[in-house]
Structure 1
Amino acid sequence: MRALRFLPDSFTMMLVATVLLATVVPAQGVYVDAFNDLTIFAIALLFFMHGAKLSRKAILEGSNNWRLHLWVMFSTFVLFPILGLLFQWWHPVDVSPQIYSGFVFLCILPATVQSAIAFTSMAGGNVAAAVCSASASSLLGIFVSPLLVSLLMHVQGDTGNGLEQMWHIILQLLLPFVAGHLLRPLIGGFVEKHKKMIGKTDRTSILLVVYTAFSEAVTQGIWHKVGVGSFAFIVAFCLVLLTFILVINTYVARWLGFAKADEITIVFCGSKKSLANGIPLANILFPVSAVGMMVLPLMIFHQVQLMTCAVLAKRYQDKQRKVAQSELVTATVQAKGQ
Structure 2
Amino acid sequence: MGIVEVMNVTKKFPSSNGEVVAVDNISFKVKKGRVFGILGPNGAGKTTTLRMIATIYRPDSGRILVDGIDVIENPNQVRKRIAYMTQEPDLSPALSVRDYIIYYFRFRGLSKREARQRCDYALKTFNLKEHAYKKPFQLSTGLKRRIQLACVLLSNTPLVFLDEPTAGIDPKSKRETWKLIEEMVKEKGMTVLLTSHDLYEVEYLADEVLIINRGRIVAQGAPSELKERFGKTLRVVTRNPIGDFERLKRTLMELEDVKGVNPISANSFEVQLSSLDNPLNEVLQATISQELEVIEIFATTLNFEDVYLNIIDVGGEVDGETQ
- Whether TM exceeds 0.5 here: the answer is no
After TM superposition, the score normalised by the length of structure 1 is 0.27
Greater relative contact order, per chain length (Cα 8 Å cut-off, separation 6+): 1
User: Higher Cα Rg: structure 1 or 2?
Assistant: 2
After TM superposition, the score normalised by the length of structure 2 is 0.28
